[in-house]
A and B are shown apart, each in its own frame.
Chain A
Amino acid sequence: MHKFANPTQFMRIANAIYPWAAGLSMILFLIGVPIALVSSPADYQQGETVRILYLHVPAAVMMQMIYYGMAAGSAAYLIWRHPMANLVAKASAPMGAIFTALCLICGMLWGQPMWGTFWVWDARLTSTLIQFFIYLGYIALADAFEDPERGDRAAAILALVGVVNVPIIKFSVNWWNTLHQPASLSLTKSSMTGDMLLPLFLMMGAFGTFYIAVLVLRLRAELLSAKIRNARLSQVAVSEATAAAE
Chain B
Amino acid sequence: MNKLLTFLDMGGYALWVWPAYGITAVALIGMVIFARRDLKAREREFETLRAARRGE
Contact = CB atoms under 8 A, between A and B. Distances in A.
Interface of A: 33, 37-38, 42, 47-49, 51-52, 55-56, 59, 95, 98, 101-102, 105-106, 109-110, 112-113, 210, 214, 217-218, 220-221, 224-225, 227-228, 231-232, 235
Contacts of B32: 214, 217
A224 B42 contact: yes
Interface of B: 7, 10-13, 16-17, 19-21, 23-24, 27-28, 31-32, 35-36, 38-39, 42-43, 45-46, 49-50, 53
Contact of B16 (A110, A232, A235): A110
Contact of A98 (B11, B27, B53): B27
Secondary structure class of chain B's binding surface, majority of residues:
helix
A225 B7 CA distance: 47
Given A102-B23, A232-B49, A48 B11 contact: yes
Nearest to A111: B16
Contacts of B53: 231, 235
B20 A105 contact: yes
B31 A49 contact: no
B12 to A, nearest CB: 8
B7 A109 contact: no
Given A106-B20, A110-B16, 11 more contacts: A38-B7, A49-B17, A51-B10, A95-B31, A105-B23, A109-B17, A224-B42, A224-B46, A231-B46, A231-B53, A232-B49
Contact of A102 (B16, B24, B43): B24
Given A55-B20, A109-B19, A214 B10 contact: no
Contact of B13 (A48, A98, A221, A231): A48
Secondary structure class of chain A's binding surface, majority of residues:
helix
Contacts of A51: 10, 17, 20-21
A98 B42 contact: no
A217 B39 contact: yes
A52 B11 CA distance: 13
8 contacts: A48-B11, A214-B31, A217-B36, A217-B39, A224-B39, A224-B45, A224-B46, A231-B46
